[in-house]
Structure 1
Amino acid sequence: MGTAGTETTDVLVIGGGIAGVSVAWELAAHARVVLTEAEDDLPVHSTARSAATYIPGHGSGPFRALIDASGPRFAALPALLGTPPLLTPRPVLHVAADDLAADHLATTVREQHGEPGAPVALDPEQAWRRVPVLRRAPRAAAWTAGACDVDTAALHDGYRRGLRARGGTVLRGARVAALERDGSGWTATTAAGHRVRAETVVDAAGAWADAVAALAGVPGAGLTPYRRTIAACPVADPSVLTVDGAVLPMVVDAAERWYLKAEADTVLVSPADETPAEPGDARPDDLDVALALDRVGAATTLGLRSVRTAWAGLRTFAPDRAPVLGARPEHPGFFFVAGQGGSGIESAPALAALAASVVLGRPSPADIDLDPAACSVTRLT
């Protein structure tokens, strides 16, 4: 403790989603860390509402590099964090039923050719055999063989427990209400009046990252949260959700207008919506749920008739859809770890390691083939 009522630490991480807990765990190997989360539970928002997938070749170039580097790290984390295996193989089938989707798919396959784990073109008839619930053979298809499901709960809980094992502190229900520069460091005051003084602040607040920066008098990164809707729909005959004893691959429209993912006796469906939204507790829109059922119904023979449950989350992007890391020179000691978009889970192990190296001023990890400058917040000025 420092002055009366003030907790002191080396690094204050704001945000208890996957970005916050993962980078806090990395930093706690080298510094004292306090993590604050506005909600009473961890996680609540984007991390808890994702489709929990690891898809090589997904997203912008920087994210693809981070996803590639995260694969071996996912494999190593159970021994480090005491979790069960975090990845379960489940390929992804990309399908194109019209010219728009076929053009998107051809561009993706061409641009990512030679990249690790990139999708490869697949004969449409073979695609239909692999996912026989498709209404007809697609016009074009591609296959991502190295995709996996992610045990998001185990990953997040492992990082949280690992942070505590390294001496870190987690403060729940601790919304930061004020953040002031204090000599060579920062003093944060929560809504409940708890004060934390730190030499360094890491803003990992997801959809709220620009709002946290504003509290500190730091220019934002121009982040935009977008709502994404998912509905879980029961299937009359769950046996159609397996092929040759294996669960169906995840199926994604190449033009990103819908996707489906089998889960037990249900199918998760989404219209792949991106509706700009204010930071907050995202709720599903009935129209988006209806669109998901309509689009998946047109593409498959699943005959989805009802919704067991539906939810929405926020996916927050920078204007160029690359992650946002680092500090502005005129605001030393305030670091962004934000803008993970739809890749926060699948890129978390490598992104956390890269972000920690930036915060600590250390060389980038040798296994991450990405120049941190490509993610620097200074690119957005």
Structure 2
Amino acid sequence: MTGIIVIGGGIAGISAAARLSAHAHVTVIEAEDALGYHASGRSAALFEENYGCASVVALNRASAAYHQPYLTPRGFLLLGRTGEDTGFEADLADLNSVEITVDEARTFVPILNDTVTRAAYHASAQDIDTDRMIQDFAKVVRGNGGQIITGKRVTGLEHGSNWTVHCGTDAFTAQMVVNAAGAWADQIATLAGVRPIGITPCRRSMARIPAPGGHDVTKWPIFFGVGETWYAKPDAGKLLVSPADEDAVEPHDAWADDMVLAEGLDRYAQHVTEPVTRVENTWAGLRSFSPDRTLVLGRDPARPSFIWCAGQGGYGFQTAPAASQLVADLTLEHPSELDPGVIAALSPERFA
């Protein structure tokens, strides 16, 4: 049986490993002590088919059926203020939403203030049970005889008749390697002697605040400003607020920038009647983008036994079912159900 090493235990890596494990002996190597530690563990956890560029939307739609057991209704609410009409119209079209009155918007989020002049709503956005999805993919890997090794950081890769992946004094061998290392994907490529793609990690900061004004926020939609300059999302009876920042950084265990968070909280506060009086905790994650901001999935053109599964940006969970299936199909040379144009748009060959 073909041996495949998957580097990275976030949603990208563990879903690809699950798809591959029915046809190959799979070993997942994760640097941290748990799966989904970095970007996957700090996701907004939302599924919205229309969110992303054309190739991402195609993956979203191909993933929709798989997601169903993991989804609960959420909805999203777009908010515009005076002078933001052009941006509002663009977001309205991109997100395939329906414009509603501001009074109707207040039935969803009653704390909206009088500066909000336009609103649009889309009911199809849904929360994803991200932890259960990761654990279910992990169960598939183990059920098919695969290994999941945590707490092992890759320190070197060598290619001869097989790949040898070094993790300090430990070494693992396989015929193929899947690079699902997230923010570290280009570093893994460099260790492997493969030309980097140009994957850029970008910080996304988050603050958790108490429920505004004591409201029950459980059924509120995610709501956000024009151009996604901030968003707020209910979470366990509290409200998560993000400045939707995308500051390029080096790969690291990210933390929130206090000034960036303060700016995002202020943008949120300009739309609501309840002031932010307390921040309970803050954190950040890394969203990693390719140069054209879409995923990189498939065999490296110069080293076909090195497979890319990277550049998920902010779309990792919502694209994972279809993206992982495509990675498995391309790795195992199985036919894919995706449109050839979409496959080409995602291929690493576009950067050759």
Question: Runs of 5+ in structure 2 lacking a partner?
Answer: none
Residues 199 and 225 (structure 1 numbering): CA distance in 2 closer, same or farther, change over 3 Å? same
1:257 to partner: Cα distance: 0.9
Alignment partner of 2:111 out of 119, 122, 133: 133
* Residue number in structure 2 paired with 1:24: 17
Q: Write out per-residue CA displacement over residues 82-108 of structure 1, whole angstroms, 9 at most, x where no aligned residue.
A: xxx4111100111122434x3233224
2:35 match: secondary structure: coil
**Counterparts of residues 251-270 of structure 1 (less than 5 Å):** 251-270=223-242
Distance 1:231 1:12 in 2: 36
Distance 2:229 2:199 in 1: 23
Q: Kindly indicate whether the alpha-carbon contact (under 8 Å) linking 2:116 and 2:271 is maintained by their aligned counterparts in 1.
A: no
Q: Write out per-residue CA displacement over residues 160-205 of structure 1, whole angstroms, 9 at most, x where no aligned residue.
A: 122101111011111111101112x2111112x2211111110000
Q: Kindly indicate whether the alpha-carbon contact (under 8 Å) linking 2:3 and 2:174 is maintained by their aligned counterparts in 1.
A: yes
**Counterparts of residues 108-123 of structure 1 (less than 5 Å):** 108-110=91-93, 118-123=96-101
Match status 1:224 vs 2:200: yes
2:37 alignment partner AA: V
The root-mean-square deviation of aligned C-alpha atoms, in Å, is 1.9
Alignment partner of 2:81 out of 85, 93, 97: 97
Match status 1:365 vs 2:348: no
1:299 match: secondary structure: coil
TM-score normalised per structure 2: 0.95
Residues 371 and 293 (structure 1 numbering): CA distance in 2 closer, same or farther, change over 3 Å? closer
1:341 match: secondary structure: coil
Q: Kindly indicate whether the alpha-carbon contact (under 8 Å) linking 1:133 and 1:240 is maintained by their aligned counterparts in 2.
A: no
Match status 1:352 vs 2:330: no
Question: Runs of 5+ in structure 1 lacking a partner?
Answer: 1-7, 76-84, 113-117
Distance 1:104 1:55 in 2: 20
1:50 alignment partner AA: S
Alignment partner of 1:33 out of 6, 26, 32: 26
1:142 to partner: Cα distance: 2.4
Distance 2:2 2:334 in 1: 20
Alignment partner of 1:377 out of 332, 348, 351: 348
TM-score normalised per structure 1: 0.88
* Residue number in structure 2 paired with 1:144: 122
4+ runs deviating over 6 angstroms: none
1:35 match: secondary structure: strand
Aligned residues: 352
Q: Kindly indicate whether the alpha-carbon contact (under 8 Å) linking 1:15 and 1:205 is maintained by their aligned counterparts in 2.
A: yes
Residues 99 and 358 (structure 1 numbering): CA distance in 2 closer, same or farther, change over 3 Å? farther
Q: Write out per-residue CA displacement over residues 115-171 of structure 1, whole angstroms, 9 at most, x where no aligned residue.
A: xxx323333442233322111363333222111111111111111122101111011
- Point out the more displaced range, 127-136 or 38-47: 127-136
- Point out the more displaced range, 255-264 or 222-231: 255-264
- Point out the more displaced range, 285-294 or 195-204: 285-294
Match status 1:154 vs 2:132: yes
Q: Kindly indicate whether the alpha-carbon contact (under 8 Å) linking 1:201 and 1:333 is maintained by their aligned counterparts in 2.
A: yes
Identity %, equivalent residues: 40
2:78 match: secondary structure: strand
1:358 to partner: Cα distance: 1.4
1:327 to partner: Cα distance: 2.1
Q: Kindly indicate whether the alpha-carbon contact (under 8 Å) linking 1:91 and 1:147 is maintained by their aligned counterparts in 2.
A: yes
* Residue number in structure 2 paired with 1:64: 57
Distance 2:37 2:142 in 1: 19
**Counterparts of residues 288-327 of structure 1 (less than 5 Å):** 288-327=260-299
1:35 alignment partner AA: V
Q: Kindly indicate whether the alpha-carbon contact (under 8 Å) linking 1:74 and 1:87 is maintained by their aligned counterparts in 2.
A: yes
1:374 alignment partner AA: A
Q: Kindly indicate whether the alpha-carbon contact (under 8 Å) linking 2:216 and 2:237 is maintained by their aligned counterparts in 1.
A: no
- Point out the more displaced range, 211-220 or 263-272: 263-272
2:78 alignment partner AA: H
